[in-house]
Amino acid sequence: MSDNRFTDTRDRYPTRLTEPSDPIPREEPTVWGQESAGPLFETDLQSIEANGYLVQRSAVDDNWLSTLRGELNNIGAKADPEDPRIIREPGGSIRSVFQPHLFSDVIAEVVTLDTVLPVARQLLGSDVYLHQARINLMPGFTGTGFYWHSDFETWHAEDGMPAMRAVSCSISLTDNFPYNGSLMVMPGSHKTFYPCVGATPRNNHTSSLVKQEIGVPSQATLTEAAARYGIDQITGPAGTALWFDSNVMHGSGSNITPFPRSNVFLVFNSVENQLVAPYRAETPRPEYLAARDSQPFNIPSLVQ
Ligand code: 6CS
Ligand code: FE
């Protein structure tokens, strides 16, 4: 991985602009490792390279699922109302909990499962660390969605992530139906960077985590992208892992069904893609949203 185009920290993906700007073709690969380097097969690697996402059933088993659901309830019950890592819906219910692995050793252990860490390393072709971890909770009836966005757009602009060499693993703790706010993805959109209009306000994260308004493409851009790529809806039973590229366009609707939707969401970044100063924000976001220490906690297999 000595190709220095990809360790270059220049701003190759300008965003948060004053005027609309053309889409930028992606330079980096999506898959950095080989079949021989990990658990995924060549067909899986080709699928995530082409679509920007990959669904793996039974990434965690039923025992794990019930333990994890218990941990979720504990975190909710013990939540300190002043803790900035706990993001609430306007109505008061918990929407996200950041750094759940620091609230719960069981959640920390999920990172090290054979269905998780080796996959992240294989996809990114290097050692990895946790850039961000969160639990997302979408309760029945009141859970609200996430508007269309590319995660990389935010991580580049607000966190100083230089290259598209990060991948998210979302492990569902509940069944995902087409109708309970399951994720929508534009397959193939990860190969294009869509610059967004609008400067980053100071402390944007205090509102963006409830409702993202900056760093989202215009309706015209989304109309074009949806016509080009189509939209896949990701469904599957609890325990399914969804791997998705940092730059794939995705979002979710609200959940007005009685069926809650929750997931553990782990973002792995390559150790060769360490954060620099934010490209389009005055100050970096807090550590709980974007780890600047690439060895943020002591899981030996993560820090070798
Ligand atoms: O802020 C973040 O890191 C993540 N959350 C949102 C709502 N958008 C960008 C990114 O996915
Ligand atoms: Fe996202």
In tens, the pLDDT along 17-50 reads 999 999 999 999 999 999 999 999 999 999 999 9
Residue nearest to atom 10 of ligand 1 (CA): 151
pLDDT, position 238: 97
Q: CA torsion, points 232, 197, 191, 50, in degrees to nearest 10? A: -10
pLDDT exceeds 90 at position 128: yes
Question: For residue 200, which of 156, 163, 248, 161 has the smallest C-alpha distance?
Answer: 156
Q: Residue 184: CB within 6 Å of ligand 1?
A: no
What is the chain's Cα-based Rg? 18
What residues pack around ion ligand 2 (CB closer than 5 A)? 151
Q: Residue 149: CB within 6 Å of ligand 1?
A: yes
pLDDT, position 301: 44
pLDDT, position 293: 83
Tell me which of 134, 208, 210, 250 to substitute to probe ligand 1's pocket, judged by most ligand atoms within 8 Å of the beta carbon: 208
Residue nearest to atom 9 of ligand 1 (CA): 151
Q: Residue 170: CB within 6 Å of ligand 1?
A: no
What global pTM score does this model have?
0.94
Q: Residue 221: CB within 6 Å of ligand 1?
A: no
pLDDT, position 304: 36
pLDDT, mean of residues 58-63: 95
The string of pLDDT tens digits covering residues 246-258 is 999 999 999 999 9
Token representation of residue 166? 């990060």
Instruction: Decide if 131 contacts 85 (C-beta within 8 A).
Output: no
Token representation of residue 214? 């900056």
pLDDT, position 184: 98
Q: For all residues of the chain together, what is the average pLDDT?
A: 93
Q: In the sheet where 183-185 sits, what is the strand order?
A: 146-149, 250-252, 183-185, 232-233
Q: Rounded CA gap, 24 and 188, in Å?
A: 14
Q: Between 192 and 298, where is the model more confident?
A: 192
Going by pLDDT thresholds of 50, 70 and 90, the confidence category of residue 295 is: low
Q: What is the largest CA-CA distance in the chain?
A: 51
Q: Which amino acid is at 42?
A: E
Core vs surface per residue 74-102: b (16+ CB within 10 A) or e: ebeeeeeeeeebbbebeeeebbbbbbbbe
Q: Residue 146: CB within 6 Å of ligand 1?
A: yes
Residue nearest to atom 11 of ligand 1 (CA): 151
Ligand 1 atom nearest residue 159's Cα: 3
Q: Residue 153: CB within 6 Å of ligand 1?
A: no
Q: In the sheet where 53-56 sits, what is the strand order?
A: 53-56, 241-245, 166-172, 261-270, 128-138, 94-98, 86-88
Going by pLDDT thresholds of 50, 70 and 90, the confidence category of residue 297 is: very low
Question: For residue 172, which of 300, 55, 251 has the smallest C-alpha distance?
Answer: 55
Instruction: Decide if 280 contacts 16 (C-beta within 8 A).
Output: yes
The string of pLDDT tens digits covering residues 85-121 is 999 988 888 989 999 999 999 999 999 999 999 999 9
> Ligand 1 centroid vs 27 CA: distance in angstroms?
22
Residue nearest to atom 4 of ligand 1 (CA): 151
Q: Rounded CA gap, 189 and 216, in Å?
A: 14
Q: Residue 28: CB within 6 Å of ligand 1?
A: no
Residue nearest to atom 7 of ligand 1 (CA): 209
> Ligand 2 centroid vs 212 CA: distance in angstroms?
10
Q: Rounded CA gap, 59 and 63, in Å?
A: 12
Ligand 1 atom nearest residue 290's Cα: 3
The string of pLDDT tens digits covering residues 217-249 is 999 999 999 999 999 999 999 999 999 999 999
Q: Rounded CA gap, 136 and 145, in Å?
A: 10
